[in-house]
Amino acid sequence: MRTARLLLAGSALAAMLAAPAVARLDHIRIDGVTPAPTGGPIAYEIVRGRFFGTLDPADAHNRIITDIDGAPRDARGRVGYSATFAIARPVDPAKASGVLFYDVPNRGGWPIGADPDGHVRVISGWQGDLAPGTDVQSATVPIARARDGGALTGPVLARFTDMAAGARSLPITGSIGKPTARPLPVTLDTTKARLFRQTSDAAPPVDIAPGDWAFADCATTPFPGRPDPTKLCVRGGFDPAFAYTLVYQGKDPPVLGIGFAATRDLVAYLRSGRPDDRGTANPARGVRWTVASGTSQSGNFLKSFVNLGFNADEGGRRVFDGVNPNIAARQVPLNLRFAVPGGAAGLYEPGSEGTLWWGRYDDVARGRGVSSLLDRCTASDTCPKVIETFGSAEFWGLRMSPGLIGTDAKTDLPLPAGVRRYYFPSVTHGGSWTGGFPLAGDPKSPTCALPGNPNPSLDSLRAAQAMLIAWVRDGKAPPPSRYPTLRSGDLVEANAAAMGFPRWPGAPSPDGKLNAFLDYDMGTSFAYHDVSGAITRQPPRTRGVIPSRVPRVNADGNETSGVPSVQLQVPLGTYLGWNVQARGWGKGGGCGFFGGYIPFARTRAERIAAGDPRPSLAERYGDHAGFVAKVRGVVAKQQADGWLRADDAAKLVEQATASDVLRP
């Protein structure tokens, strides 16, 4: 009898191990394995392919996906999807660190290669509205249907700005950076739609008569052109001094929220180390800890991923041990009917309506009650450790302020114990990716008046990510958060007087450059906390303006709070999180989220002649040798404080030595 019981127990265990596990994709297809370029100590290879999964719409972990009930199902009643992936792994498994580092792609793109610390690096598709292509990480998701099996329809909004003067027709697209086609209109009858234009966000809309525009291509055929549901045509052409907004009835929305589940299930599968349901070996090796980072749009993705409960897999296990939302001020508008997940906080775009804070806060100003980004993972005990990083442009262009001080702007919101926040002062969106010490600044955006801000944040970001890994893997808590607060007097109104911004003849002013935080009414089918559901009011009604604050500055016009870069501590000019729109729509206002730069004069005589109160380079550093010596000292302290990796420290000294700063 004892032998029989052992045999039965062994058979049960074998059956359990052989059965498809919850929270894993169905199967994975390896398309190729190639060597990865590397100059580091560890040889790497890159595995590329596609993974295929199915979701049970009735499962509590999936029910939150908008329109999943309207997606087609297989014989088992499950909803299918697929997505691309790429994995960079050490050729020798013994040299792997045990850490899986997932980089959330931004609009389908993100570089992948060897990691000097031996981490397995992973990227994968999650954005189902992107067209497949070389080096594009994309997802294939189903189209939702109405309950009666017919087409699912609803209001769709598309915006058009910065077009060429006199352009005859424009494609109806969504995401910036990598335009994607918007859903097709139900009808080409312009009386069933609306087109209006504005000179700025605050200007009143002026409707264009239905007979003066068309769903058509006018590139080669005079207005009203050749009928085309994917293009917009205006009589007399478009005027770049205006922004145009189109609202129409669209059909056949893709179930884009599946992108969250696709990321969840891929990482859960890779972490398990088990083969897929067809016996294909798991391409990840020896994964013990999982960390994710996302920048801008993909950082918003991580905030929503946690907020919507996707950090718990279908078996209730934690997916990511740590996350780093970088320069991410909002939630990503992905889990929406007719979503545009690639927006950038423009007029009428969703993303800021939801929960924006890590601790629990009562959003009285908007009447939304108490919530936190960590509510669902707290309930399921699956919260990751969080290191949030961001810079100046997120305040000015992406509406970051309420995430720190709430929608009433009255008090600093406390951070939970498992969250750190590090602010990178006086940087553009993402910081300068060229770095170094360029006297003239970074290249200027075509629509901005000032040169690009050359102050980097990448070195500090790399240090913060290393801290997150040490926190997850070794239990080593990172240093206390460093960011501007109301309590310290570092957050003030967005004008020169409140900020203490210096003035001199011809100097630009920060006044009027803030992207206002608008309180939208998007209809009764919109789930505000989660930025989910359906927007039924297009364009949304503006209920009011939420107060925002920005960091104050010193006599140089540079910010003083947070974790400054070496370049900010040895400045060559004023580094701005804002810029000035030079032409076209919104001229004179803020220039998106592109930070500007105003260099210091070289000598005292030059600055006095210009009426510039900021000390010159020569007054600050004397000569080139003095400048390099100053950089060396700051680099040594920055490295000792843990905010510079050794390789980045050596690079900065080399760049300063090779620079033209105060050379004869």
Residues facing residue 80 across a β-bridge:
54
Instruction: Give the residue-averaged pLDDT of 147-160.
Output: 95
When mean pLDDT is compared across 117-121, 175-179, 352-356, 521-525, the lowest value belongs to 175-179
Instruction: Give the residue-averaged pLDDT of 273-301.
Output: 95
Are β-strands 573-575 and 153-160 bridged in parallel, bridged antiparallel, or unpaired? unpaired
Instruction: Give the residue-averaged pLDDT of 567-593.
Output: 95
pLDDT given at position 180 = 84
Instruction: Give the residue-averaged pLDDT of 552-561.
Output: 98
Look at residue 285 and tell me whether its pLDDT is greater than 50.
yes
Residues facing residue 217 across a β-bridge:
226
pLDDT tier at 18 (50, 70, 90 boundaries)? very low
List phi, psi (to 5°) of 141.
Answer: -125, 160
Look at residue 15 and tell me whether its pLDDT is greater than 90.
no
Look at residue 19 and tell me whether its pLDDT is greater than 90.
no
| Buried-state track 310-321, b at ≥16 Cβ within 10 A, e below 16 | bbbbbeeebbbb
Percent with pLDDT over 70 in the chain:
96
Task: Return the higher-pLDDT residue of 25 and 453.
Answer: 453
Look at residue 9 and tell me whether its pLDDT is greater than 80.
no
For 54-79, how does the pLDDT look when each residue is reduced to its tens digit (9 = 90+)? 999 999 999 999 999 999 999 999 99
CA distance linking residue 167 with residue 241, whole number of Å? 12
3-state helix, strand, coil split of the chain in percent (to 5) is 20, 25, 55
Percent with pLDDT over 90 in the chain:
90
For 602-613, how does the pLDDT look when each residue is reduced to its tens digit (9 = 90+)? 999 999 999 999
Task: Identify the three-state secondary structure at position 306.
Answer: helix
Cα 445 versus chain centre, distance: 20
Tokens 């994995």, residue? 87
pLDDT given at position 646 = 94
* Cα angle, residue 297 at apex, residues 296 and 301 outer, rounded to 5°: 115
pLDDT tier at 428 (50, 70, 90 boundaries)? very high
Q: What is the dihedral of CA 539, 543, 545, 546, to 10 degrees?
A: -110
Instruction: Give the residue-averaged pLDDT of 103-117.
Output: 95
pLDDT tier at 24 (50, 70, 90 boundaries)? low
- 10 Å Cβ neighbour count for 322? 24
pLDDT tier at 20 (50, 70, 90 boundaries)? very low
pLDDT given at position 179 = 76
Look at residue 205 and tell me whether its pLDDT is greater than 60.
yes
Cα 63 versus chain centre, distance: 25
Cα 394 versus chain centre, distance: 11
- 10 Å Cβ neighbour count for 604? 13
Longest dimension (CA), the chain: 101
CA distance linking residue 143 with residue 42, whole number of Å? 43
pLDDT given at position 178 = 75
Task: Identify the three-state secondary structure at position 390.
Answer: strand
Look at residue 42 and tell me whether its pLDDT is greater than 50.
yes
DSSP type of residue 332: -
For 357-376, how does the pLDDT look when each residue is reduced to its tens digit (9 = 90+)? 999 999 999 999 999 999 99
Nearest CA among 653, 650, 611 for reference residue 631: 653
pLDDT tier at 22 (50, 70, 90 boundaries)? very low
Q: Are 117 and 96 in contact (CB under 8 A)?
A: no
Sign of CA dihedral 49, 50, 51, 52: negative
For 533-554, how does the pLDDT look when each residue is reduced to its tens digit (9 = 90+)? 999 999 999 999 999 999 999 9
Q: How many CA atoms lie less than 13 Å away from 611 in the CB half-sphere?
A: 6
CA distance linking residue 402 with residue 410, whole number of Å? 10
Look at residue 522 and tell me whether its pLDDT is greater than 80.
yes
Task: Identify the three-state secondary structure at position 361.
Answer: strand
pLDDT tier at 2 (50, 70, 90 boundaries)? very low
CA distance linking residue 223 with residue 212, whole number of Å? 9
Cα 507 versus chain centre, distance: 31
Nearest CA among 235, 179, 237 for reference residue 211: 235
Look at residue 422 and tell me whether its pLDDT is greater than 90.
yes
pLDDT tier at 433 (50, 70, 90 boundaries)? confident
Residues facing residue 336 across a β-bridge:
533
Residues sharing a CB contact under 8 Å with residue 259, sequence separation 6 or more, in sequence order: 83, 125, 126, 127, 128, 139, 141, 301, 334, 341
When mean pLDDT is compared across 120-124, 163-167, 456-460, 596-600, the lowest value belongs to 163-167
Instruction: Give the residue-averaged pLDDT of 276-288.
Output: 94
pLDDT given at position 214 = 98
pLDDT tier at 343 (50, 70, 90 boundaries)? confident
For 626-647, how does the pLDDT look when each residue is reduced to its tens digit (9 = 90+)? 999 999 999 999 999 999 999 9
pLDDT given at position 14 = 37
For 93-102, how does the pLDDT look when each residue is reduced to its tens digit (9 = 90+)? 999 999 999 9
Task: Return the higher-pLDDT residue of 422 and 133.
Answer: 422
* Cα angle, residue 430 at apex, residues 424 and 436 outer, rounded to 5°: 80
Burial of 389 (0-12, 13-18, 19+ CB in 10 A): buried
pLDDT given at position 176 = 72
Q: Are 214 and 164 in contact (CB under 8 A)?
A: no
Omega before residue 341 within 30° of 0, cis: no
First vs last C-alpha separation in the chain: 94
Rg of the Cα trace of the chain? 26
CA distance linking residue 354 with residue 301, whole number of Å? 13
Residues sharing a CB contact under 8 Å with residue 640, sequence separation 6 or more, in sequence order: none
Strand positions, DSSP E, 144-302: 153-160, 169-171, 194-198, 206-207, 213-214, 216-217, 226-227, 231-234, 243-251, 289-295
Look at residue 146 and tell me whether its pLDDT is greater than 90.
yes
